[in-house]
Amino acid sequence: MPPAALRRPTALLTAASAAMLVAGTLSGAATSQAATTQPCDLYAAGGTPCVAAHSTTRALYGNYTGALYQVRRVSDNATRDIGVLGAGGYANAAAQDSFCAGTSCVITIVYDQTGRNNRLTQAPPGGFNGPAAGGYDKLANATMAPVTLNGNRAYGVFVSPGTGYRNNSTNGIATGDQPEGMYAILDGTHYNDGCCFDYGNAETNSRDNGNGTMETIYFGNSRGWGSGAGNGPWVMADQENGLFSGVNPGYNAGDPTVTHRFLTAIVKGEPNHWAIRAGNAQSGGLSTYYNGARPNAAGYNPMKKEGAIILGIGGDNSNSSAGTFYEGVMTSGYPSDATESAVQANIVAAGYAQGSGGGAALNTGSTVSLRATTACCTDRYLSHSGAGVATAVVTAAGSAAEKANASWTVRPGLANGACRSFESKNTPGSYLRHQNFQLYLHPDDGSALFANDATFCSQAGVNGQGNSLVSYNFADRYVRHYAGTGYIASDGGSNSFDATALWPDDVSWVVTAPWTP
């Protein structure tokens, strides 16, 4: 417990009422219908109602029947809202799959379920510019983070560097030193050391306005402003000009490394008091990593929060981070631990599990060949010759070298084991990777950059055949053959190899038995 001076009067969720609400959470029977009591119902019962509620996977109120998010097709810029299967239910992922068939889609809006219209949209430029037109940040590829919730397919928000969402004109979000709480469900295996994968309260002008002008959940392994025990990643609080893991600027041993595949991360704050809590979103309860006074540095007591909301970026639009977001809320008032425990039980009952991107299984340790599906080139396979990667005609009468050059050993993704890396069959230790958007075969140099460049996430083939392979660190770009050469290409863009003509076919590959087993 914090010292008496730090304690506060607040509406508490009693143990009895928490148990009753959690029991209600566990009583939902239909697989297409979630429980009738959801996280924001629990927060309201605890006297700290949600003022923002964002999710692409499920409803966060038991009676919510509206849209969760919006997607936009790259092929024609048409948009579609993706709702729930029923009141309080899971996302209607089938509607997205149907709408996006034959092309790629991006997530344009993450709606606010509270009715306050605190929706998240493409982040504008600020202290830093994004890579999209006008200095805006990129939008997330809508299919890069497949999951299931109690067997129901859904998608998260996959943030690769340069991707970000924001709302600088909000309703009801804490300002100044007002109390608030927030949680987010994240992928604990998807992170980097860039600044800053945040969700929460930030500046309303997209710039660094000084110490104490932010209060967000941060997840990653950046050591630039603070760190916890081990090598990271850590759940920390971004309070502007500092990622805080406890009372001290810099290192705090009480904040452990956490790598749960599905992570519940919590930050909450009130006058001269804040806390970090976290847990496994698939099982068990929450642990408290810090609970005490504001950081021991000038400018954080009192806080000067401004009330914007960010996702995947820092308060000044720093956008070099990576991570995956599934759901999260922000509250009015400082939630009790009992309320958060009830919410954690609800999250566990939601049954988050790793989903499949579709297409043929790419089993690690297997050897495969990848055949083009474009009508011109169905006798051609992704192949290497020296460091160059292109498509090549391979036949049974071909040489042993030609066959081996078109054979790849499937490895767990060097940057993330949920995705895949492709090691040359006849050049062990060398991998398919991209550099300046072109594909090469290079030896693994052990760097984080190489690991990212050599990791690809498999999805069902965009044209309905085989598999498509998406770059892990440029999630709007797919492995493509163009004029015989291998690239990672977007569906439209300034490069010739980004041409929209034949793009769905050029990025779809049939996984075949290897020419060289």
Give CA–CA dist 10/268, Å, rounded. 13
Give CA–CA dist 375/305, Å, rounded. 57
Give CA–CA dist 461/467, Å, rounded. 4
List, in sequence order, every beta strand (DSSP E) within 35-139.
50-55, 69-73, 79-82, 105-110, 121-122
Distance from chain centroid for Cα 433: 22
Give CA–CA dist 512/283, Å, rounded. 38
Which amino acid, one-letter code, is at 134? G
Give CA–CA dist 127/320, Å, rounded. 13
Catalytic residue among 316, 327, 402, 506: 316
Is 34 buried (19+), middle (13-18) or exposed (0-12) by CB count in 10 A?
buried
The residues, any chain, with a CB within 8 Å of residue 142's CB and separated by 6 or more, are 71, 96, 100, 104, 105, 106, 107, 155
- Nearest alpha carbon to residue 329 among 182, 224, 508, 201: 182
Catalytic residue among 112, 198, 215, 240: 240
Q: Are 416 and 456 in contact (CB under 8 A)?
A: no
Q: Catalytic: 240?
A: yes
Give CA–CA dist 269/291, Å, rounded. 10
* H or E element, residue 482: strand 478-482
Structure tokens at 58: 């499920």
Q: Are 212 and 244 in contact (CB under 8 A)?
A: no
Q: Are 144 and 137 in contact (CB under 8 A)?
A: no
Give CA–CA dist 409/163, Å, rounded. 31
Q: Which residue has the tokens 């810090």?
A: 290
Catalytic positions, written as ranges: 240, 316
